Amino acid sequence: MPEVRVALAGVGNCASALAQGLQYYANCGEEECLGLRNPVLGKLRPRDIEIVAAFDVDGRKVGKDLSEAIFAEPNNVPKLADVPISNVLVHKGPLLDGVGEYTKNVVIVSDHPEANVALALKECDAEILLNLLPSGAAKASQWYAEQALVAGCAFVNVTPNFIASDAVWDQRFAMAELPLAGDDLIDQVGATTLHKTLLQLLSTNGVRIKETYQLDVGGGTESLDTLGRTKDVKRTVKTKSVEAALPYEAAVVAGSTDYVDFLQNRRDSYFWIKGVHFGNVPMQIDMKLSTVDAPNAGSVLFDVIRAMKVALERKMKGAVVPVCAYAFKHPPQLLSLEVAERIFADFIEEA
């Protein structure tokens, strides 16, 4: 019997990297776990996680075994591992606002009948529902949070929609005695974290930052959806998070800019920092980080899933602050990187 039973809302690039990663790290423990931050967390290894249900709307994924659906277009994450037949067939969920103006020609909506999502979650004993919908799917994200409540599942909101950081949803999960985590996952090699760390290092060393921006371009469907629907909200979330790294006011902009199809699932992040140091002498940093988007979420998702299992075992209710602060850009309480790291370490050390 697997230890952690997870369901996926959305079988896009992120879900593909997660499912492939579970195979890639299946022997983690006996073999080296290169690329993972926590090979063991809460006494759990990656192989203790099992995907027991999945929901999507795209006809190339719905009705297919998960092992096939994760490689279907428009997913373009690179292949990390062979995934054997899982016997998990992708259910059709309701579309709601799942596609936007820019993605309506990229996603082919299935004509399969819609599943009863809450019932499907109950039938497979799912413990945690991961919300991996496009960032513009605000209504659909809330709808899946509602299904988690009905089915008695913990809910993890990987998208930038405000659920864990919304007091009403926090209260509703608390009333239902279920844990909740979100919003907007922090990547393993996160441009926001790198930006904040650089700014902190410079200001600790007495550099006065005058202006800084961090902008990125990507080629996954998510970058296309961001361009059409969530550019502004992402810019607000990232800029607030980066501003919090500086002990004084400076001109700060952080966000995404555009979709470049030939990048596939790659993401190029550009950093500009301008300030002054000793004697009011100017300094500047002009830097580029290149990553592949979906695998960049894998290690953090492994940590979040296992930490939420710990939260379930401890019968925690509502937003789990150490998990939200450690793994999400827009948690209910924005804490410094050091405090977030420390409270998460304390949280898992007790497990």
Which residues bind to ligand NAD, rule: CB under 6 A?
9-15, 55-58, 93-96, 98, 107, 132-135, 137, 140, 158-160, 184-185, 187, 220-222, 293-294, 296-297
What's the DSSP call for residue 284?
E
The DSSP line for 286-302 is EEEEEEETTHHHHHHHH
- For ligand NAD, the closer of residues 39 and 94 by Cβ is 94
Decide if 20 contacts 143 (C-beta within 8 A): no
Paired tokens of 135 = 């960032």
Task: Give the phi and the psi of residue 225 in degrees, each rounded to 5.
Answer: -65, -40
- For ligand NAD, the closer of residues 25 and 328 by Cβ is 328
Q: Which residue is nearest to ligand NAD (CB)?
A: 12
**CB of residue 265 to ligand NAD, shortest distance in Å:** 8
The distance from CA 240 to its chain's CA centroid, rounded to whole angstroms, is 18
**CB of residue 323 to ligand NAD, shortest distance in Å:** 15
- For ligand NAD, the closer of residues 98 and 318 by Cβ is 98
Peptide bond into 74 cis (omega under 30): yes
**CB of residue 291 to ligand NAD, shortest distance in Å:** 8
Bridge-partner residues for 215, per DSSP?
255, 270
**CB of residue 100 to ligand NAD, shortest distance in Å:** 10
Decide if 305 contacts 49 (C-beta within 8 A): yes
The DSSP line for 27-51 is TBTTB--TT-S-SSBTTB-GGGEEE
- For ligand NAD, the closer of residues 48 and 293 by Cβ is 293
**CB of residue 233 to ligand NAD, shortest distance in Å:** 10
Peptide bond into 183 cis (omega under 30): yes
The DSSP line for 244-260 is TTSSS--EEEEEEEEE-
Decide if 196 contacts 245 (C-beta within 8 A): yes
- For ligand NAD, the closer of residues 295 and 332 by Cβ is 295
**CB of residue 101 to ligand NAD, shortest distance in Å:** 14
Q: With CA atoms as reference, report the closest residue to 21 among 344, 304, 328, 307.
A: 304
**CB of residue 85 to ligand NAD, shortest distance in Å:** 20
The whole-angstrom separation of Cα 187 and Cα 193 is: 8
- For ligand NAD, the closer of residues 105 and 280 by Cβ is 105
- For ligand NAD, the closer of residues 202 and 297 by Cβ is 297
180 SS3 class: strand
Q: How, if at all, do strands 251-259 and 208-218 pair?
A: parallel
- For ligand NAD, the closer of residues 212 and 269 by Cβ is 269
- For ligand NAD, the closer of residues 94 and 228 by Cβ is 94
**CB of residue 351 to ligand NAD, shortest distance in Å:** 25
**CB of residue 21 to ligand NAD, shortest distance in Å:** 12
Decide if 192 contacts 241 (C-beta within 8 A): yes
Interacting residues of 156 by C-beta distance below 8 A, sequence separation 6+: 128, 129, 130, 131, 180, 181, 182, 304, 305, 308
